[in-house]
Structure 1
Amino acid sequence: MKVQGKMFIWLSLFILIMAAVYGAWSKEPAGTTALFLAFGLCVMIGYYLAFTARRVDAGAMDDKEADVADDAGEVGFFSPHSWQPLALGVGGALAFLAVAMGWWLLYFSAPIILVALWGWVFEYYRGENRTQ
């Protein structure tokens, strides 16, 4: 994680310089604002990775002599049978479509989003998947 944190910090410095050059040269506010926002996002990600790297053990990515296979193993738990992300995606698509077609479409998309979000958060608290 140390390497990724340093990469994002250096990337943020590059984006900051490019934002200043772009803003001075083009006098265009939208692109300049977008570059400064990208700078802020890179700083946040770089800080998080550097902050987290101090609290976790060094991984294979931090060892210069490591192989790719040294980082193999379990990554985490991912729900293999959940339909909630699909419902959340449909609700989100309808919500974004509401911006283009009309705000009335939010009356249909908001309940879909809320029910899908509720189902995704609590899907392991009911039925056969209930943890004991």
Structure 2
Amino acid sequence: MKIQGRLFLWLSLFVLVVAIVYGYWSRETVGTVALFLAFGLALMIGFYLSFTARRMDELAQDDKEADVADEAGEVGFFSPHSWAPVSLSIGGALAFTSVALGWWLLYFSAPLIMLGLWGWVFEYYRGENRNQ
């Protein structure tokens, strides 16, 4: 995590320089403000990653002598037979399509999104954990 923190801090410095040069040369307000906001965002992310890296053990990505296989292992747990992401993706696609086609399409996408969220949150409250 140390390297990501450094990368974002260097990125924030670069965006700050670009924002100053862009603001001076273009005299355009919106782009200059957007670049200064990007500077602030990169600075916040870099500070967070650097702060968190100090409190964590050193990872393999921080060791220059590490191999790729040193960080290998289980990434996380993923539901093998969950239909909730399909419902969420179709509902989200319809919701974003409603911006272009018309807001009436949200009447069809909102139930799909709610059904997908409900299924995703409560998919492990079935079976042996049902009565607890």
Question: What TM-score does the superposition give when structure 2 sets the normalisation length?
Answer: 0.83
Q: What corresponds to 1:92 in structure 2?
A: 92
Quote the offset at 1:129 in angstroms. Answer: 8.4
SS at match of 1:73: coil
**Structure 1 residue runs without a partner (length 5+):** none
In 2, Cα distance between equivalents of 1:112 and 1:29: 41
Is the Cα contact below 8 Å between 1:22 and 1:32 reproduced in 2?
Answer: yes
Q: What corresponds to 2:15 in structure 1?
A: 15
Q: State percent identity of aligned pairs.
A: 74
**2:54 is aligned with what amino acid?**
R
**2:25 is aligned with what amino acid?**
W
In 2, Cα distance between equivalents of 1:104 and 1:48: 41
In 2, Cα distance between equivalents of 1:70 and 1:60: 6
Larger radius of gyration: 2
Instruction: Give the aligned length.
Output: 131
Q: How far does the alpha carbon of each residue in 1:14-47 deviate from its partner, in whole angstroms, 9 at most, with x for none? A: 1122122223322334433432332233223222
**Structure 2 residue runs without a partner (length 5+):** none
CA RMSD of aligned residues (A): 2.2
Q: How far does the alpha carbon of each residue in 1:66-119 deviate from its partner, in whole angstroms, 9 at most, with x for none? A: 121212112222222222122111111111111112122222212211221121
Question: What TM-score does the superposition give when structure 1 sets the normalisation length?
Answer: 0.83
